[in-house]
């Protein structure tokens, strides 16, 4: 009889475990639905920012802060709420020039030269690890997207393009654990980016 009691008790425990597993699974699905619906709402609730001096427009999440700082006159930061070191930034600048040794004239750096200069700086100063680099289209122009990670900034991407003789760089920097939450928003910002004439 002791054997059958043990069997009954073990079956009872197994049934409770199955019940708990089903409950946990249902909760996980419910939480997943809530998270996905909040992301979907975030993706639908965008404002448009236009900067006529720097000649670009971009859509951004309505709950992100737009910051135009005097110390960085050629950039606009879209600050992610409650995270000081997480942001999306658009910077505009002039390409550096170099001496063309064949023609002995000054020429603007190419897109590839500008990107390499930026990556070299990031790797040497921040000890960033290059994750991926590929060509993209941004604002109707060819660009280069560079993805990096380091212990200081976390995950980041830079998208660099040259349009109307200016360098446009879109930067996204985020804590690696928050990337799944904000990367879809950053990608939508990139898709909406336009260079103005």
pLDDT digits (tens, 9 = 90+) for 94-127: 998 989 899 999 999 999 999 999 889 888 888 9
- Res. 182: pLDDT tops 70: yes
Predicted confidence (pLDDT) at residue 23 exceeds the cutoff of 90: no
Q: How many CA atoms lie within 13 A of 65 on its CB side?
A: 11
**Residues, the chain, total?**
197
Measure the CA–CA gap between 183 and 39, rounded to whole angstroms.
11
**Whole-model pTM over 0.85:** no
Q: Hey, is 91 helix, strand or coil?
A: strand
pLDDT of 14 above 60: no
CA distance 9 to 16: 11
More confident residue, 34 or 91: 91
pLDDT value, residue 129: 94
Per-residue pLDDT at 39: 44
Instruction: Return the percentage of the chain with pLDDT > 70, whole number.
Output: 78
Q: In this structure, are residues 189 and 58 in contact, taking their beta carbons and an 8 Å threshold?
A: yes
Dist CA 25 CA 121 (whole Å): 47
Query: In this predicted structure, what is the pLDDT of residue 5?
Result: 47
Query: What's the CATH superfamily of 46-195?
Result: Mog1/PsbP, alpha/beta/alpha sandwich (3.40.1000.10)
Cα distances (Å, whole numbers) of residue 17 to 4, 5, 30? 20, 18, 20
Mean pLDDT of the chain: 84
Note the pLDDT of residue 70. Answer: 87
């Amino acid at each position: 009889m002791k054997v059958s009691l043990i069997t009954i008790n073990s079956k009872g425990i197994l049934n409770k475990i199955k019940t708990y597993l089903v409950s946990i699974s249902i909760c996980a699905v419910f939480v997943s639905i809530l998270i996905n619906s909040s992301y979907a709402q975030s993706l639908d609730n965008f404002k448009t920012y236009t900067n006529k001096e720097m000649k670009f427009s971009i859509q951004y999440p309505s709950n992100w802060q737009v910051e135009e700082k005097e110390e960085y006159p050629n950039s606009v930061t879209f600050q992610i709420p409650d995270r000081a070191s997480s942001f999306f930034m658009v910077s505009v600048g002039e390409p550096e020039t170099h001496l063309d040794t064949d023609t002995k004239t000054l020429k603007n750096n190419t897109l590839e030269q500008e990107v390499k200069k930026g990556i070299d700086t990031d790797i040497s100063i921040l000890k960033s690890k290059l994750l991926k680099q590929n060509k993209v289209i941004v604002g109707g122009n060819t660009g280069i997207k560079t993805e990096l990670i380091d212990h200081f900034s976390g995950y980041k991407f830079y998208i660099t393009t040259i349009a109307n003789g200016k360098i446009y760089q879109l930067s996204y920097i985020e804590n690696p654990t928050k990337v799944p939450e904000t990367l879809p928003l950053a990608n939508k910002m990139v898709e909406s980016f336009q260079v103005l004439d």
